[in-house]
Structure 1
């Protein structure tokens, strides 16, 4: 599966920073897709950003606005 994003990068802490055009649609794809649904441990959302923790321990910081990611 390919999810199209505006930009992606990795913070020095290891958090994956993803910039998307439609946050709600992206979260919906993550949580409703049968393959990805089993990988998502926890989702925190606000109006312009979301934090998703995967069962593997990887943390995704997903946002609609803001500067480009730190490290691309």
Structure 2
């Protein structure tokens, strides 16, 4: 998800998984705004030098991060 023009709006952007590196996972903080539920976690990802944040419930976020690997081939 990436910010889109207008408050509270988001858009999807394809990102090749080969470019992503997980930098860390943290709990939601007050500065994250009201768009992310308080019980969720946020993963900080590096996309070839650009920061990408992915928010989800802790168990779901862990599952998504495990899947962020290139397909075997």
Higher relative contact order (CA 8 A, sep 6+): 1
Q: Between Structure 1 and Structure 2, whose CA radius of gyration is higher?
A: 2
TM over 0.5: no
Q: Normalising by structure 1, report the TM-score.
A: 0.28
Q: Normalising by structure 2, report the TM-score.
A: 0.28
